[in-house]
Amino acid sequence: KSPAELEQFLLAKGGSLGKQTGRVAKVDKEQKSQASPRLFSLSSLQTEANRRYHASASQVLQAVQNLYENKFLSYPRTDCNYITDNEYAYLAQNLDRYQGLLPNSAEVKEQMKPLKAEKRYVDSGKVQEHHAIIMTKTVPSQAQMGKMSKLEGQVYDLVLRRTLEMFLKAYVYEKTTALINVGQLTFKASGNVSVNLGWKILEGPVKDAQLPPLEVGQELTAKLKEQEEETKPPAKFTEGSLITAMKTAGKTLDDEEAQDILKDVEGIGTEATRASTIEILKKRGYMQSRQNKLSVTPEGTILCKAAEAEPLLVSAQMTAQWEKALKQVGAKERSQDNFLGQIKKFISKMITEVPGKIQVDQGLQEEAQTRQAKTAAIGPCPVCKQGEITDKGKFYGCSNYRGGCHFTLPKKFAGKNMGKRIVKTLISKGKTDKLDGFVSKKSGQRYSAKLQLEGDKLSLVFD
Ligand SMILES: [Zn+2]
């Protein structure tokens, strides 16, 4: 935690800051090989294009879509990383033409391995509707390449390289791990040396951490230094990483006792409930997922403010205390009634006190309302043409109510439930196709009719 503490630690282990003698205790060399990455699905292509060119997911989708419409790439909206033998066959047949698009095609040819469809890439059992994104048989000419937008060119190049890598040899390297002793301190150093580049020839320069030749018993000069670094803010959560964070929630708690308890119960929630907790937060509009990055909505911020006004509500320590109390109940050190009674007291206290404590500025409130209106909107209002028709619970109504538009549509009409799809058709086209399920009030008979909306008047049409 401090330089002084570090120096003390080193001293106790027979070392110190600065230069001293070290000895190589162990050297391990291992030859490793790495196959080329899997073929692109849309999301992995978006990830890669974002990493290399900082293109947004929707920009990449648009680029792939254009390349698909111009018949250079296969269908873009796929989550599959595999192709079938059919695609493999035509790719293999056209290899020379694809390779011709690369500046270093001669070197690439040297790395080719014998043709064989490998399960890592070619598996018809794993291809459902669409296969991975690959080149079509149509190889773009220089002129056609010139007509592509910058991003389209980059995306085509990414797909071209990734697909061709499947035909190249593995990347082979030697991994060396050395243990070096200084006093009773052991340091580990590792480095890779490329043996054969293989598919990496299509990925740009390989940056290996090199190690000098080392032998066991060899004496080295070790220089120990302290280094102060600053932490970086963590990356935004994806749904995957949030689940992991919930699972390991105890690790970031300050209170050591609370930390221990959460470690025992494995964080927040269980394997069975974590995903649905995230789903509920999204469904209720507190959180949204964009390009797989989770963020808090304005409503979520308001919820957080409520929680902030009453820190107990979100305190993991609170959870930890409850877990502790539950354990006591389990061990008969506390009665069930005592625990439930405390929870009841806690909840009624929250319900009375918290709403009065929340301070939400108007900007945030408006943001939340706009967002809600947008997500709930079924379509523009056909009457005032300014508001949006939204589901108001017991009926559908115009969001421009305060502006004077009182247009509503019922949830049930002539005995038939009016779903969102019917309302959407009505407000956009004024008339539906023939629908079943109307019920006569008098006879209870079911019948079919069309629904018609003229101005704000809804009626049945029989024709
Ligand atoms: Zn309206």
Splitting the chain (463 residues) into consecutive groups of 10 residues, what average pLDDT does each group show? Answer: 89 92 94 94 80 76 93 90 95 95 90 94 91 96 94 97 97 93 93 90 81 89 89 82 73 64 63 71 85 86 85 78 90 94 91 82 84 80 90 87 91 91 92 92 91 93 86
Predicted local confidence at residue 401, as pLDDT: 87
- DSSP designation for 168: B
Radius of gyration of the chain measured on its C-alpha atoms: 32
Ligand 1 centroid to Cα of residue 402, in Å, is 10
pLDDT, residue 252, reads 59
What is the rounded distance in angstroms from the CA atom of residue 112 to the CA atom of residue 165? 9
| d(CA 460, ligand 1 centre) in Å | 22
From ligand 1's centre to the CA of 457, what distance in Å? Answer: 13
- For residue 220, report the phi and psi dihedrals to the nearest 5 degrees: -130, 160
> What does the pLDDT read at residue 338?
94
Q: How high is the pLDDT of residue 44?
A: 78
Ligand 1 centroid, distance to 385 Cα (angstroms)? 6
Cα–ligand 1 centroid distance for 369 (angstroms): 17
- Give residue 360 CA to ligand 1 midpoint distance, Å: 28
Give distance in angstroms: CA of 365 to centre of ligand 1: 22
Q: How far is the CA of 297 from the centre of ligand 1 (A)?
A: 26
Please tell me the distance between residue 181's alpha carbon and the centre of ligand 1 in angstroms: 78
Q: How far is CA 6 from each of CA 179, 237, 428, rounded to the nearest angstrom?
A: 21, 34, 72
Rounded to the nearest whole angstrom, what is the distance from the C-alpha of residue 407 to the centroid of ligand 1?
6
* pLDDT reported for residue 257: 66
Q: How far is the CA of 408 from the centre of ligand 1 (A)?
A: 8
From the CA of 368, how far away is ligand 1's center (Å)?
Answer: 20
Distance 306 CA to ligand 1 centre (A): 33
Ligand 1 centroid, distance to 136 Cα (angstroms): 49
* Ligand 1 centroid distance, CA of 114 (Å): 67
Q: How far apart are CA 309 and CA 321, in angstroms?
A: 20
437 Cα: distance to centroid of ligand 1 (angstroms): 28
Distance of CA 452 from the midpoint of ligand 1 (Å) = 17
Nearest to 7 by CA among 315, 15, 458: 15
430 CA to centre of ligand 1 in angstroms: 15
Q: If residue 87 lies in a helix (H) or strand (E), which one and from where to where? A: helix 85-93
Expressed in angstroms and rounded, the spacing between residue 442 Cα and the centre of ligand 1 is 34
Look at residue 312 in the predicted model and tell me its pLDDT.
80
Q: How far is the CA of 30 from the centre of ligand 1 (A)?
A: 72
- In this predicted structure, what is the pLDDT of residue 212? 82
> Is the Cβ–Cβ distance between 55 and 153 less than 8 Å?
no
CA distance 449 to 404: 32
Alpha-carbon gap, residue 76 to 41, rounded angstroms: 8
Q: Return the CATH number of 239-360, one of 1.10.460.10, 1.20.950.20, 3.40.50.620, 3.40.50.2300.
A: 1.10.460.10
How is domain 22-216 classified at the architecture level of CATH?
A: Orthogonal Bundle (1.10)
Ligand 1 centroid distance, CA of 447 (Å): 31
pLDDT for position 52: 84
pLDDT at 253 (0 to 100): 59
Report how far ligand 1's centroid is from the alpha carbon of 53 (Å): 44
Q: What local confidence, expressed as pLDDT, does residue 22 receive?
A: 94
SS3 state of residue 179: strand
* Gap from CA of 367 to ligand 1 centroid (Å): 20
C-alpha 406 – ligand 1 centre gap (Å): 7
Angle, CA 119 vertex, CA 116 and CA 124 arms, to 5° = 105
- Let me know: does 438 contact 460? Beta carbons within 8 Å: yes
Query: Residue 43 in contact with residue 292, Cβ under 8 Å?
Result: yes
Residue 359 has which token pair? Answer: 């301070």
CA of 366 to the centre of ligand 1 (A): 19
Ligand 1 centroid from CA 426, angstroms:
14
User: To 5 degrees, how large is the angle CA 31–CA 34–CA 39?
Assistant: 175
Task: Calculate how far, in angstroms, residue 381's C-alpha sits from the geometric centre of ligand 1.
Answer: 5
The answer to whether the beta carbons of residues 286 and 299 sit under 8 Å apart is yes
Cα 149 to ligand 1 centroid, rounded to whole Å: 42
Output the CA 448–ligand 1 centroid distance in Å. 29
Instruction: List the structure tokens of 415.
Output: 């005995």
Ligand 1 centroid, distance to 432 Cα (angstroms)? 20
The per-residue pLDDT for 263 is 59
Place of tokens 């209170």: 255
Domain ranges of the chain: 22-216, 239-360, 376-461
Beta bridge partners of 339: none
Cα(405) to centroid(ligand 1), Å = 5
- C-alpha 431 – ligand 1 centre gap (Å): 18
Predicted confidence at residue 259, as pLDDT, reads 64
